Amino acid sequence: MPTTAHTPLRRRTAVLAGTALELCLLALPAAFALAEPGRAVSNPLLLVWIPGLYLLWHAARGTLPLPVLREERGLWLLPLVWAPSLLTLGPAAAWREGKTFLLGLVALSAVAERVRRNPAALDRALWTLTAIGGLLGLDTLWQWAHGTDLLMGNPLHGPRATATFENPNNLAPVLAAALPAALALLAGKRRGAATWAAAGAAAVTLAAVILTGTRSAWIAALAALALAAPVFRSAPRGRWRLAAVSAAALAALAAGRRLLALRIHRLVGMKDARIDLWQESWPFIKSAPLLGRGIHASQATLPTPTAAGHLTFPHNFFLEIAVESGLPAVAVFLYALWRAARTYGARLWADPRRRVLLGLALCPFLAFVVNAAFFSRHVGTLLWWCLGLAVGAAAPVRPSNGTAA
């Protein structure tokens, strides 16, 4: 008689729960790309369906959840970045404000586990990101040419493109996540229609990144190209593919040369109010150096540098964590980043064919670090999802028996 863990009912439950979980995980960034209209879909996915199906999947398989966070000290320390808010805000308020952060870590582990158990899941995730980048890229080009985007009717944000989002700083991280995914597909050994689709998506995504006018996303795009360039040398017709993507970038640079000059002049001319936030934040850090002032406290305490009426945030993960969770939390965050980079980054770097996949973690982080609040839906929905892909790709493990789903 088979053990309980291997009964047909539990195997079928594991398969169905695993399949439904992966579909929800793929739908999460797709819904996020629709900005505000997608929130009605992405919020229930992140807060209800993904954690529920994830727990059911593990229960059916008879395994403990969150193995990724348990196996790597750097990742399981991340909740300690959020923990001080329990003392400064109280449990109810802390959960209300921080649940997206914690459930984003659940999504990270779920994505990593699916990719590890079934390497084909990585291809499906890469194609999902590539399709998102291609569609947003085309929408960005349409908005640049016609003044409003095709999907939502959003106007340009001054000279900067926004596509389905109201702010280019929200669009840029999505494109920064999609670009390395498209380059990873393009750098492989695919031929025919798949190659053309990946090349087209990479080209329009890179062009759209430039037209957002987001400087951190420009750096992320350069990092993605730098990681992909060595891989293109060994790929069939790799140099031609890289040349085609580079041509799209040059065309976008030519079209947005005034935007490029404006953004660089603003940075070089020290007219960016974000730099002043470091000095203005220091009194708040000194007032609560150990536990911080609570999640989102910086939005209420820091002066607003914009005239658009948006709530401000420190425009830097490290500064925000220092204000809201305290200086020890900054040390924990830095240690977690170092541990994860040393473990997973080293594994991907050691294999030239998978080195381009480092961009799945590095590029969204570079785009988010000064353009989003760390304790926000944007980071909880997309950044942890992309980090899960990189973690899963760093150590793929195929299922060893028939109970895996």
Long-range contacts of 56-61 (CB under 8 A, 24+ apart): 56/13, 56/17, 57/14, 57/17, 57/18, 57/21, 57/405, 60/10, 60/11, 60/13, 60/14, 60/17, 60/405, 61/5, 61/10, 61/14, 61/403, 61/404, 61/405
Distance CA 131, CA 151 (A): 15
pLDDT in tens, 220-233: 998 998 888 887 76
149 SS3 class: coil
Q: Which of 216, 198, 236, 215 is nearest to 363 (CA)?
A: 216
Structure tokens at 96: 């209300």
Query: Is 392 within 8 Å of 348 (Cβ atoms)?
Result: no
Alpha-carbon span 348 to 170, nearest angstrom? 28
Q: How far apart are CA 56 and CA 389, in angstroms?
A: 21
Taking only the tens of pLDDT, the chain with its 405 residues reads 344 446 888 899 999 999 999 999 999 999 888 766 677 788 889 889 999 999 999 999 999 999 988 887 778 888 888 888 777 777 887 787 788 888 989 999 999 999 998 889 999 999 999 999 999 999 998 998 888 888 888 888 888 888 888 888 889 999 999 999 999 888 766 667 787 888 888 889 998 998 888 888 889 998 998 888 887 766 556 666 666 676 776 666 666 666 666 666 565 555 556 666 777 778 888 888 898 887 777 665 555 544 333 345 677 889 889 988 899 999 999 999 998 888 888 888 888 778 889 999 999 999 988 888 888 777 878 899 999 999 999 875 444 444 445
**Residue 314 · residue 302 · CB < 8 Å:** yes
pLDDT tens profile 120-150: 999 999 999 999 999 999 999 899 888 888 8
Residue type at position 98: G
Q: What pLDDT does 135 receive? A: 93
Q: pTM here? A: 0.86
pLDDT reported for residue 309: 35
Q: Quote the pLDDT of residue 235.
A: 59
Give the type of residue at 253: L
Query: What single string gives the DSSP state of each residue in 67-90?
Result: HHHHH-HHHHTTHHHHTHHHHHH-
**DSSP 8-class letter at 162:** -
Estimate to the nearest angstrom the gap between the alpha carbon of 85 and the chain centroid: 24
SS3 148: strand
Tell me the DSSP string of 19-73.
HHHHHHHHHHHHHHTT-HHHHHHHHHIIIIIHHHHHHHHHHHHT--S-HHHHH-H
Looking at residue 372, what is its pLDDT?
81
Query: Taking a C-beta distance cutoff of 8 angstroms, is the pair 108, 379 a contact?
Result: no
Question: What pLDDT is attached to residue 330?
Answer: 94
In this structure, the number of other CB atoms found within 10 A of the CB of residue 19 comes to 14
